[in-house]
A and B are shown apart, each in its own frame.
Chain A
């Protein structure tokens, strides 16, 4: 293998956040008044806006070889999108150097530049040109794009009359037919129905595995990432925390992605504007110590405190367990009326999951306070992540294999 197709050295990106005013853009007025103030006050104590530096990326180094499929994971604000934006030349780095050896196309948003007034046909050409395809190239692939998007009948309808599903399909179809050595994709599959998502993933797999193209892919969906990618980069607060084999990266992301690893979840009472919300949630093992790591034959106790300012006989508390690919494994609900409310509206209680059922792996919880078909007061996803380790189940010999999320002891009958 020759030189890496992308090499990134010491990449940093700084944003200046100014704490005065909440406007997104500067008005000339502010600049003028600030200058005037500065003149009046001279040096010394100045009432300058407090400007805070924020490093969205800090000294990031990696290199990618041709044909690699890289999954980039990290919490919101970890710098994933900034990294992709710098790589796709939309914004400039503050420091560092990137060398790219090959043509590159990036898809940071589905349907960038689609114009609602133009027809599907016209938008294919427009979007193609925006993504860097020539007219000849688009014409060559036109039929393929149309049939992939399944919009044959609506080609001459303005896209503003499209259903959102059709819109997304058309937009993705154009992007999927880009011919470039490197394809950069930001969480674009979060939209569209499940069937189409599958189709898109299939296409992406096809593109990267069979055509040997390099793929950089950002997603919060660990299942998709671990299926599609070979290597991973875990970003945390603008720095690379881990890179390497995708499975290790995904596991690392899951095991430290909860709000407070030690404690579980704690809300900021002063900030919340919700009327009913979770205050504190943590997990305890059988010896009542708070933990996030449990043995297979150990029970898990969820200790819950929540605030109900708006009681209702139909208010429900729901808890879901999700596996590391964010698939729901199990759900249990109870009526909030079962809890005693103290004077401040605070309810608390515990729920214990029996031992020996949940298969050794990584999981997280979903907590919901809601009234069916009426309102969801609060939905907490990906909190209280926990790990179940095998301490001698009959499956321990299969460690590393995916043998499911729960273990039952079925009744065999041997004839």
Chain B
């Protein structure tokens, strides 16, 4: 006799995580679908994931370095510093946007098939990882162009990518679950992303923030991630206490996201 499945009201499945693992094929294939479909019917295709960060970097370098004349503590040129911040930020903002809209973008799946719903936002974050990988190549090209030798800690970069991933995933889970019921979040997300670009040290170095505010500043989890990226790629000084705070905030959001998602997951099909 095969295994027995019991469906009951309010029963949280014991083998939720095992189920998630069993549906990994679906996770691969949904990620693959999103990647494949992403740049269909665009003329320059994946080049979009290069053009956007590069152009923003050019403008930010001009505005923050030439016009605002902000301080650059880095050994690297200003443009490199901006791009090193732009990389995780673009990844985070794309992933957050995609994840937040992922459930309502897959309404037909949610209302017609069973699978652990967490697969949907997770696979949409993965899609943004591909864009990230493409823009990362440009980072390497820029380094060669500026003849900049990255420090040894570049090997630790995957850890910071994971941080950015978890930051986007945790927040995305929370928002996408809310989005099922309250479509307001569809409008809030572009706002958060736009707003975030300025309160996060993308166009400038976080060393411009007065020392006494830095702990508070690090409550924005992307501050820690971006500082980490600059430390890895450019050898910029790292503010470790702030980094620790950012890590904690990310974990808190992740826990909150998973908790809320799991709590509301079962009523998605009724509410969507």
Cβ contacts A340-368/B at 8 Å (1 or 0 each): 00000000000000000000000000000
Which chain A residue lies CB-closest to B37? Answer: A117
Which residue of A29, A87, A129 has the most chain B CB atoms within 10 A of its CB atom?
A129
Taking a contact as CB atoms under 8 Å apart, the answer to whether B113 and A91 are in contact is: no
Selected interface stretch from B6-14, B89-97, B136-144: B6-14
For A298, what are the chain B residues with a Cβ–Cβ distance below 8 Å?
none
Interface check B48, CB cutoff 8 A? no
For B272, what are the chain A residues with a Cβ–Cβ distance below 8 Å?
25
Q: Choose from A103, A108, A125 the contact partner of B112 (Cβ within 8 Å).
A: A108
Which chain B residue lies CB-closest to A16? Answer: B270
Which chain A residue lies CB-closest to B8? Answer: A97
- C-alpha spacing A93/B37, complex, angstroms: 35
Interface check B40, CB cutoff 8 A? yes
Interface check B16, CB cutoff 8 A? no
Taking a contact as CB atoms under 8 Å apart, the answer to whether B269 and A27 are in contact is: no
For A99, what are the chain B residues with a Cβ–Cβ distance below 8 Å?
4-7
Taking a contact as CB atoms under 8 Å apart, the answer to whether B9 and A130 are in contact is: no
Taking a contact as CB atoms under 8 Å apart, the answer to whether A103 and B184 are in contact is: no
Interface check A329, CB cutoff 8 A? no
Known: A28-B182, A118-B36, A134-B25. A112 touches B112 (CB 8 A): yes
Interface check A279, CB cutoff 8 A? no
Cβ contacts A114-148/B at 8 Å (1 or 0 each): 01011000100110011110110000000000000
Q: Choose from A2, A26, A98, A108 the contact partner of B182 (Cβ within 8 Å).
A: A26
- C-alpha spacing A254/B36, complex, angstroms: 49
Interface range for A: 35 or more
Interface check A113, CB cutoff 8 A? yes
For A117, what are the chain B residues with a Cβ–Cβ distance below 8 Å?
36-37, 40-41
Which chain A residue lies CB-closest to B272? Answer: A25
- C-alpha spacing A402/B1, complex, angstroms: 41
Taking a contact as CB atoms under 8 Å apart, the answer to whether A126 and B7 are in contact is: no
Interface check A15, CB cutoff 8 A? yes
- C-alpha spacing A304/B5, complex, angstroms: 54
- C-alpha spacing A313/B185, complex, angstroms: 56
Taking a contact as CB atoms under 8 Å apart, the answer to whether B269 and A85 are in contact is: yes
Interface residues contributed by chain B, number (CB under 8 Å): 41
Q: Choose from B1, B9, B183 the contact partner of A25 (Cβ within 8 Å).
A: B183
Which chain B residue lies CB-closest to A94? Answer: B9
Which residue of A2, A92, A99, A122 has the most chain B CB atoms within 10 A of its CB atom?
A92
Known: A112-B108, A117-B37, A134-B25. A92 touches B9 (CB 8 A): yes
Q: Tell me the minimal C-beta distance from A165 to chain B in angstroms.
A: 20
Taking a contact as CB atoms under 8 Å apart, the answer to whether A115 and B37 are in contact is: yes
Taking a contact as CB atoms under 8 Å apart, the answer to whether A28 and B184 are in contact is: yes
- C-alpha spacing A97/B7, complex, angstroms: 6
Q: Tell me the minimal C-beta distance from B255 to chain A in angstroms.
A: 23
- C-alpha spacing A181/B5, complex, angstroms: 13
- C-alpha spacing A92/B25, complex, angstroms: 24
Interface check A375, CB cutoff 8 A? no
Q: Tell me the minimal C-beta distance from B156 to chain A in angstroms.
A: 34
- C-alpha spacing A26/B184, complex, angstroms: 9
Q: Tell me the minimal C-beta distance from A99 to chain B in angstroms.
A: 5
For B266, what are the chain A residues with a Cβ–Cβ distance below 8 Å?
91-92
B→A interface (CB under 8 Å):
1-10, 25-26, 28-30, 33, 36-37, 40-41, 106, 108-115, 180-185, 266-267, 269-272
19 further contact pairs, Cβ within 8 A, besides A90-B269, A93-B8, A100-B7? A2-B1, A28-B185, A90-B110, A90-B113, A92-B9, A93-B9, A95-B9, A96-B9, A97-B6, A98-B7, A101-B1, A104-B5, A106-B113, A108-B112, A112-B108, A115-B33, A117-B36, A118-B36, A130-B26
12 cross-chain CB contacts under 8 A:
A25-B183, A90-B111, A91-B267, A96-B9, A97-B6, A97-B8, A100-B5, A101-B1, A101-B3, A117-B40, A118-B33, A129-B29
Across the A-B interface, give the 10 residue pairs with the lowest CB-CB distance, nearest first: A89-B114, A98-B7, A28-B184, A129-B29, A92-B266, A28-B182, A91-B269, A100-B5, A112-B112, A117-B40
